[in-house]
């Protein structure tokens, strides 16, 4: 090996020509040759002549040499490296390094495999999402096309009706005109023979009253044009909204399920907590421990979406509850207990009440929260309904029947008095 032969030549360079060992306390003579200090001193002792270099025979006026510290350091290093102990240490060091790298290699391999699995998953899910988005847009296109056909059909019908009316007018007027034409010709004929006919004949001439065509109200072309104009895209978009699925559900609160402290607006779309119980009939449906309330609609299939105004309330809970939840007990809101909810605490802390809770960091405090329940998929998803940004999704949601769930939390004096409202899409 190159390394070994390099080692050898280095050792040779550092070997004393007298003792044939690695230099010990190397010194340099004026001729630039090196020897062990003891060796050169011994050599000079043994021959009483003028001191000379045993290698080049160069003679010196005195027994002078210079200690070569740099060389002695190098020799020490070479001596050490040659030792069995050093070799052993080096081997151990290398073995450790090898083991560490093998371990790291396994680690990298594992991470690479995980990343590759993620790539597969990502590609698969992207494909599914792609398909889904495509299908939703296809449905929108279909709705839009149906809407377009319906609007055009309506226009066609209007046109046909108006045409029928105008053509009728034309036809009746033409009939009247031909009657008039006949009358005119006849009267002119009589007039031309006025001199020849007897008075008796004139009197017997049958001049009927002129034909009458009832005038129709003038057709208003401007009105016809105006009735089919305006902000057409907005008009069609509003019509389209009727066909969208799921459209926001116009929910109302179910007072029978409400904790006695809760008070409702007359239309049952706003609720607030009053700090003391109202006189309410006893019902097994009623929440008795927490200031909770459900919506009057429940769901067991399909997809449903609703929006809840929380404004600047300082705390609240909302989401979905299983219809079967224990309403008499004070229960922790968690999926295990049949609750899939989002909550605000301490004005700024948003949590999904999964197990364990998940702290959410919305881009801005949501003032209107959208809840999407998909009974088939078993998911409950929350959005900031202001910009429809995603907040959190619960998976493996399962119950026989689902209820939209709300808790105003306590009003704490005036702090959290602002009512919670069910939003109805007002168009
Ligand atoms: Zn020597
Ligand atoms: Zn010499």
Tens digits of pLDDT across the chain (427 residues): 456 677 788 888 899 999 999 999 999 999 999 999 999 999 998 876 789 999 999 999 988 899 888 888 888 888 887 777 888 888 999 999 999 999 999 999 999 999 999 999 999 999 999 999 999 999 999 999 999 999 999 999 999 999 999 999 999 999 999 999 988 898 888 888 777 766 666 666 666 777 788 888 888 999 999 988 889 999 888 888 888 889 899 999 999 999 999 999 999 999 999 988 999 999 999 999 999 999 999 999 999 999 999 999 999 999 999 999 999 988 899 999 999 999 999 999 999 999 999 999 999 999 999 999 999 999 999 999 999 999 999 999 999 999 999 999 999 888 999 999 999 987 6
Parallel/antiparallel/unpaired status of strands 402-407 and 292-295? antiparallel
For tokens 């680690």, what's the residue?
107
| Dihedral-angle region of residue 230 (phi above 0 means left; psi in -120 to 50 means alpha; beta otherwise) | left
Compute the distance between CA of residue 300 and CA of residue 400 in angstroms, rounded to an integer. 6
Q: Quick one: which H or E segment has residue 368?
A: strand 368-374
Cβ atoms of 15 and 22 closer than 8 Å: yes
* d(CA 67, ligand 1 centre) in Å: 14
Task: List, in order, residues 6 or more apart from 418 with CB less than 8 Å away.
Answer: 272, 311, 312, 313
Containing 44, the helix (H) or strand (E) segment is helix 37-46
**C-alpha 25 to ligand 2 mean position (Å):** 17
CA of 17 to the centre of ligand 2 (A): 11
Structure tokens at 123: 């590609």
The pLDDT value given to residue 48: 67
CA angle 373, 376, 379 (to 5 degrees): 40
CA distance 38 to 26: 9
Q: What is the dihedral of CA 159, 161, 163, 169, to 10 degrees?
A: -150
pTM: 0.70
In angstroms, what is the span from residue 52 Cα to ligand 2's centroid? 8
Ligand in closest contact with the CA of 30: 2
Neighbours of ion ligand 1 (CB under 5 A): 16, 18-19, 36, 39
Find the ligand nearest to 40 CA: 1
Question: Which ligand sits closest to the CA of 43?
Answer: 1
* Ligand 2 is an ion; residues with CB less than 5 A from it: 31, 33, 53, 55-56, 58
Secondary structure class of 345 (helix, strand, coil): strand
Residue 427 has a pLDDT of: 63
Measured CA to CA, the distance from residue 333 to residue 326 in angstroms comes to: 11
State residue 1's pLDDT score: 47
CA of residue 35 to ligand 2 center, whole Å: 10
For residue 40, the CA-to-ligand 2 centroid distance in Å is 11
Q: Which two tokens stand for residue 385?
A: 């309904």
Ligand positioned closest to the Cα atom of 36: 1
272 backbone dihedrals φ, ψ, rounded to 5° = -145, 160
């Amino acid at each position: 090996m190159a390394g070994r032969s390099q080692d050898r030549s280095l050792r040779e360079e550092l070997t004393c020509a007298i003792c044939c060992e690695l230099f010990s306390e190397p010194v340099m003579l004026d001729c630039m040759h090196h020897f062990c200090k003891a060796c050169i001193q011994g050599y000079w002792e043994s021959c009483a002549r003028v001191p000379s270099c045993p290698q080049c025979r160069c003679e010196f006026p005195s027994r002078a040499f210079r200690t070569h510290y740099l060389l002695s350091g190098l020799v020490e290093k070479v001596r050490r490296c040659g030792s069995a102990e050093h070799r052993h240490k080096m081997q151990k060091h290398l073995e450790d390094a090898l083991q560490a790298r093998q371990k790291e290699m396994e680690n990298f391999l594992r991470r690479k495999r995980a990343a590759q699995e993620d790539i597969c998953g990502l590609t698969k899910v992207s494909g599914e999402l792609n398909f889904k988005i495509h299908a939703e847009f296809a449905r929108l296109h279909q709705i839009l096309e149906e809407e377009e056909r319906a609007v055009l059909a309506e226009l066609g019908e209007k046109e046909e009706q108006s045409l029928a009316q105008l053509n009728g007018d034309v036809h009746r007027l033409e009939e009247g005109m031909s009657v008039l034409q006949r009358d005119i010709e006849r009267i002119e004929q009589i007039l031309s023979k006025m001199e020849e006919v007897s008075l008796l004949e004139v009197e017997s001439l049958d001049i009927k009253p002129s034909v009458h065509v009832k005038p129709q109200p003038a057709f208003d072309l401007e009105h016809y044009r105006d009735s089919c104009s305006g902000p057409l895209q907005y008009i069609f978009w509003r019509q389209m909204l009727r066909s969208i699925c799921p459209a926001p559900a116009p929910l109302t609160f179910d007072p029978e399920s409400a904790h006695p402290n809760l008070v409702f607006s007359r239309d049952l779309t706003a609720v607030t907590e009053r700090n003391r119980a109202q006189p309410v009939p006893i019902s097994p449906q009623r929440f008795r421990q927490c200031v909770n309330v459900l919506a009057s609609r429940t769901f067991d299939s399909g997809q449903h979406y609703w929006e809840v105004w929380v404004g600047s309330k300082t705390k609240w809970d909302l989401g979905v509850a299983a219809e079967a939840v224990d309403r008499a007990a004070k229960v922790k809101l968690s999926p295990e207990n049949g609750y899939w909810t989002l909550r605000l605490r301490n004005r700024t802390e948003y949590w999904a009440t999964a197990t364990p809770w998940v702290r959410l960091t919305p881009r801005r405090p949501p003032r209107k929260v959208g809840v999407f329940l998909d009974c088939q998929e078993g998911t409950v998803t929350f959005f900031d309904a202001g910009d429809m940004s995603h907040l959190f999704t619960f998976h493996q949601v399962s119950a026989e029947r689902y209820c939209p769930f709300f808790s105003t939390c306590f009003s704490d004096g005036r702090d959290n008095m602002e009512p919670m409202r069910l939003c109805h899409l007002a168009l």
